[in-house]
Amino acid sequence: MQISARNVIKGKVVSVEKGATTAHVKIEIAAGQVVTAAITNDAVDSLKLTVGDEAYAVVKSSDVMIAVD
Amino acid sequence: MQISARNVIKGKVVSVEKGATTAHVKIEIAAGQVVTAAITNDAVDSLKLTVGDEAYAVVKSSDVMIAVD
Amino acid sequence: MQISARNVIKGKVVSVEKGATTAHVKIEIAAGQVVTAAITNDAVDSLKLTVGDEAYAVVKSSDVMIAVD
Amino acid sequence: MQISARNVIKGKVVSVEKGATTAHVKIEIAAGQVVTAAITNDAVDSLKLTVGDEAYAVVKSSDVMIAVD
Amino acid sequence: MQISARNVIKGKVVSVEKGATTAHVKIEIAAGQVVTAAITNDAVDSLKLTVGDEAYAVVKSSDVMIAVD
Amino acid sequence: MQISARNVIKGKVVSVEKGATTAHVKIEIAAGQVVTAAITNDAVDSLKLTVGDEAYAVVKSSDVMIAVD
Contact D66 A4 (CB under 8 A): yes
Mean per-residue pLDDT over chain C, rounded: 97
- What DSSP string runs through chain C? -EES-SEEEEEEEEEEEE-SSEEEEEEEEETTEEEEEEEEHHHHHHTT--TT-EEEEEE-GGG-EEEE-
Supply the pLDDT for residue D17.
Answer: 98
Residue count of chain C? 69
Chain A residues within 8 A of F3 when measuring between CB atoms: 65-67
Chain F residues within 8 A of E18 when measuring between CB atoms: none
Please state the rounded mean pLDDT for residues A4-9: 98
- Residue A61 CA neighbour count, 13 Å, CB half: 28
A22, A62, A65: residue with CB nearest F22: A22
Supply the pLDDT for residue F25.
Answer: 98
Q: In this prediction, what percent of chain D has a pLDDT beyond 90?
A: 99
Segments forming the whole domain that contains residue E33: 7-59
In three-state secondary structure terms, B27 is: strand
Looking at residue A42, what DSSP letter applies?
H
**What's the structural domain count of chain D?**
1
Asked whether residue C11 is domain-assigned, the answer is yes
Residue C45 has pLDDT above 90, yes or no: yes
Chain F residues within 8 A of E57 when measuring between CB atoms: 64-66
Sign of CA dihedral A62, A68, B3, B6: positive
Asked whether residue D66 is domain-assigned, the answer is no
Neighbours of A7 (CB within 10 A): 22
Q: Give the model confidence (pLDDT) of A21-52 as tens digits.
A: 999 999 999 999 999 999 999 999 999 999 99
Q: Give the model confidence (pLDDT) of F13-56 as tens digits.
A: 999 999 999 999 999 999 999 999 999 999 999 999 999 999 99
Distance from CA of F64 to the nearest CA of D (A): 9
Asked whether residue A23 is domain-assigned, the answer is yes
Asked whether residue D45 is domain-assigned, the answer is yes
D4, D21, D62: residue with CB nearest F22: D21
Q: What is the CATH number of the domain that holds B40?
A: 2.40.50.100
Q: What pairs with residue F57 in β-bridges?
A: E66, F9
Q: In this prediction, what percent of chain D has a pLDDT beyond 70?
A: 100
Chain C residues within 8 A of A61 when measuring between CB atoms: 40
Contact C20 B24 (CB under 8 A): no
User: What b/e sequence results for D15-41 when a residue is b if at least 16 CB atoms lie within 10 Å of its CB, and e otherwise?
Assistant: ebebbbbbbbbbbbbeeebbbbbbbbb
Residue C1 has pLDDT above 90, yes or no: no
- Residue B31 CA neighbour count, 13 Å, CB half: 1
Asked whether residue E69 is domain-assigned, the answer is no
Residue A1 has pLDDT above 90, yes or no: no
What residues contact residue B54 under an 8 Å CB cut-off, 6+ apart?
A68, A69, B10, B11, B12, B13
Residues A36 and A26 sit within 8 Å (Cβ to Cβ): yes
Asked whether residue B27 is domain-assigned, the answer is yes
Supply the pLDDT for residue F8.
Answer: 98
Confidence of residue C62 (pLDDT cuts 50, 70, 90): very high
Please state the rounded mean pLDDT for residues C27-39: 96
Supply the pLDDT for residue F1.
Answer: 86
Contact E69 B21 (CB under 8 A): no
From residue F32, alpha-carbon distances to B69, F4, F10 in Å are 49, 28, 14
What are the residues of chain C with a beta carbon less than 8 Å away from any beta carbon of chain A?
1-6, 37-40, 42-44, 46-47, 56, 58, 60-62
Asked whether residue B49 is domain-assigned, the answer is yes
Q: Is the ipTM of this complex over 0.95?
A: yes
Supply the pLDDT for residue E1.
Answer: 87
- What DSSP string runs through chain F? -EES-SEEEEEEEEEEEE-SSEEEEEEEEETTEEEEEEEEHHHHHHTT--TT-EEEEEE-GGG-EEEE-
Please state the rounded mean pLDDT for residues D2-18: 98
Please state the rounded mean pLDDT for residues C1-20: 97
Alpha carbon distance, N-terminus to C-terminus of chain F: 38
Asked whether residue C42 is domain-assigned, the answer is yes
Segment-wise mean pLDDT, segments of 10 residues, chain B, 69 residues = 97 98 98 96 98 98 98
Closest residue, chain A, to C7 (C-alpha): A43
Supply the pLDDT for residue B1.
Answer: 86
Chain F residues within 8 A of A34 when measuring between CB atoms: none
